[in-house]
A and B are shown apart, each in its own frame.
Chain A
Amino acid sequence: QVQLQESGPGLVKPSETLSLTCSVSGGSISSHYWSWIRQPPGKGLEWIGYIHYSGSLNYNPSLQSRVTLSLDTSKSQISLKLNSVTAADTAMYYCATFSSSSYWALHADWGQGTLVTVSS
């Protein structure tokens, strides 16, 4: 079981770029696919996208034009960038493992999340 820890600015101004990092420990970053998932206050979960060290990438169609995921294997970190943010992007952001094997799209391990508020 891997441990995941999200980090980044808790406050982002409208129209700017939200940048978050997920640090992985207890496992190899090359052993899994990695998802980002967000949850606006009081609302449900929304998948943002997944990435694999092989270069495999997939984004939520509703966010695809604004999202970029990347990996830094030397630091065991997964990064999320979301540009042109608005108040609607205010949410708790989670990183999680994404299974590509026996059970497709299974998110077994989650970080504790980091809250990002978009406000001027």
Chain B
Amino acid sequence: QSVLTQPPSVSGAPGQRVTISCTGSNSNIGATYDVHWYQQLPGTAPKLLIYGNNNRPSGVPDRFSGSKSGTSASLAITGLQAEDEADYYCQSYDSNLRGYVVFGGGTKLTVL
């Protein structure tokens, strides 16, 4: 059971827009900790996709965007492409106990 909740899967046709939600609580996302998103292509290590809720590292297309509100965050992908098919993970920090890093369970994006 992950501290951050993501849908197990989402799908969309090429060119469409999809969103992936990431729901936390007042001890993590709601406590103003940043949300970061990672993309994991099959058989590879995760790669930073969005940092600080809504910032793209150099080289990440502007088709990818992030947002955060209250205890939730979202990743949006517009103009879906076949190469976007991957697993996506949200990540934040939780203030409980001594504080620790928390991940969402991951969302498998299928491009139809």
Contact = CB atoms under 8 A, between A and B. Distances in A.
Given A44-B105, A105-B91, A113 B100 contact: no
Interface in B82-112: 89, 91-93, 97-106
Chain B interface residue number, banded? 20 to 34
B46 A104 contact: no
B41 interface: no
A114 to B, nearest CB: 11
B101 A108 contact: no
A50 to B, nearest CB: 7
A31 to B, nearest CB: 17
Contact of B48 (A35, A44, A106): A106
A45 B51 contact: no
Interface in B70-90: 89
A53 B2 CA distance: 29
Which of A44, A47, A112 has the most chain B CB atoms inside 10 A of its CB? A44
Which of B48, B55, B106 has the most chain A CB atoms inside 10 A of its CB? B48
A32 interface: no
A44 B104 contact: yes
Interface of A: 35, 44-47, 50, 58-61, 94, 98, 102-113
14 contacts: A44-B105, A45-B91, A45-B103, A47-B100, A58-B98, A94-B46, A103-B55, A104-B93, A105-B36, A105-B91, A107-B36, A107-B38, A107-B91, A110-B45
